[in-house]
Structure 1
Amino acid sequence: MNSSKNTPSILINAGTLKGLKLALPPSLSTRPTKAIVRESFFNTLGGEVVDCVFVEGFGGSGSMGIEALSRGAREGVFIERDVHSAQVLERNLLGAKQRDSSLRYRIYTQDFFTSAPILRSLQTHTILYLDPPFSIREGMADMYERCFELVRALSNPCIWLIAFEGMSAAHTPQTLGKYARIKQKKFGKSTISYYRI
């Protein structure tokens, strides 16, 4: 029983899964989105999350995608390359589905940068959320530019909104291919940049 108390976790903020506890991967390679950031993001989206497909490109614990499902998203798509993190993600989703059996989701255990076929296959109103590892971490110096390049190459018009959570000190371009930055919101060391067609 004590081990569960020591397991780091976060709670879903609102919706059908409000209060659901999500476990966090025991890896330093993932960094969960803070509750205040999640709340601000979904307040900004409002009803636009309802009936959308929500893609979490760096799945981690799945907190953003599960929050989206809780608030009415039609389906969650989670991409996470780390096997251990993907296992925690799957457990979190199974716990969510026990609460709401109507939830629909897919998990892909692969690198986000190999996900172009998945993104091309989406056929309905889609939001893409990217929260890559901070580029100051070892081996991650080109992480943001790789994300930007992938977004520039996107051709699926169903992906109408892309949100990029990154370091506040980092530069995010005004345009990425057919997407234009419409808003930024800063939360200390993190900033969310919103891009839409």
Structure 2
Amino acid sequence: MRPQLVARPKPRPANQLRLIGGDYRGRRLSFPDQPGLRPTADRVRETLFNWVAPRIAGARCLDLFAGSGALGFEALSRGARAVVMLEQAPAVARQLRENAERLGATAVQVHQADALRWLELERVREPFDLVFLDPPFAADLLAPALERLDRCGWLAPEAQVYLETAAQTGFPALPVGWELIRDKRASQVRYGLAVTAAQLSK
């Protein structure tokens, strides 16, 4: 009697995201397991980059709570001039650097740092045209991030800021003079695009 073959469980595939537009369209990037890390969904990303399409080419971008890097790498794929990514978790920051190397993306800088402290303490060398704010939903980080971006001079006059949060939580109050110009929901996520007071005054 032949011994019965026992099927071995297949190894769990690595967490992956797919870039959906631009030069790196279709490329897949891995990201590690980390509490609160959830890449922005493809459909939401597509809507976001339709919103910012007139401004993305040549833009200097900040992915403040980078996580998987979905937003920053998508921006670079679609023509951004430079992308700075902030990520506090060492394993996640390491994977972001590896993904940048895999893409040959020399215009990406990854900093392993607490995002709020970085905004407060780092010297502004060149302000950003487009900022992505998609922090862990439970961490209540949107309001302090917005306050520091506005107060510390991180935003160019034409800057736009993307916000993403849990639908049931909603967005915090924006800095004085800012305006939310786009606002949508997708399942349990609320996302939108804000412009700064300097832009509105034009």
Offset at residue 149 of structure 1 (A): 2.9
Q: Could you tell me which residue of structure 1 aligns to residue 19 of structure 2?
A: 12
Residue pair 2:66, 2:86 contacting (<8 A) in 1 also: yes
Tell me the distance in 2 between the aligned counterparts of 1:149 and 1:80: 19
- Residue from 122, 125, 140 that aligns with 1:121: 125
Q: How many residues align?
A: 185
Which amino acid in 1 is paired with 2:55?
E
Unpaired runs of 5+ residues, structure 1, are: none
Going from structure 1 to structure 2, the CA distance change for 1:151 and 1:172 (only over 3 Å counts) comes to farther
SS of 1:25 mapped into structure 2:
coil
TM-score normalised by length of structure 2? 0.83
Q: Could you tell me which residue of structure 1 aligns to residue 134 of structure 2?
A: 131
Unpaired runs of 5+ residues, structure 2, are: 1-9, 197-202
Residue pair 1:25, 1:60 contacting (<8 A) in 2 also: no
Q: Could you tell me which residue of structure 1 aligns to residue 46 of structure 2?
A: 39
Tell me the distance in 1 between the aligned counterparts of 2:123 and 2:21: 27
Residue pair 1:152, 1:177 contacting (<8 A) in 2 also: no
Offset at residue 74 of structure 1 (A): 0.2
Residue pair 1:179, 1:196 contacting (<8 A) in 2 also: yes
**Highest CA radius of gyration, 1 or 2?**
2
Q: Could you tell me which residue of structure 1 aligns to residue 163 of structure 2?
A: 164
CA RMSD across the alignment? 2.1
Offset at residue 95 of structure 1 (A): 1.2
Offset at residue 152 of structure 1 (A): 4.1
Question: Superposition pairs for residues 39-58 of structure 1, below 5 Å?
Answer: 39-58=46-65
List structure 1 segments (4+ residues) > 4 angstroms apart after TM superposition. none
Q: Could you tell me which residue of structure 1 aligns to residue 101 of structure 2?
A: 94
Does 2:150 match 1:147? no
Offset at residue 173 of structure 1 (A): 4.2
Going from structure 1 to structure 2, the CA distance change for 1:28 and 1:46 (only over 3 Å counts) comes to same
Does 2:116 match 1:79? no
Tell me the distance in 2 between the aligned counterparts of 1:146 and 1:175: 10
Which amino acid in 2 is paired with 1:150?
R
User: Percent identity between the aligned chains?
Assistant: 23
Does 2:68 match 1:64? no
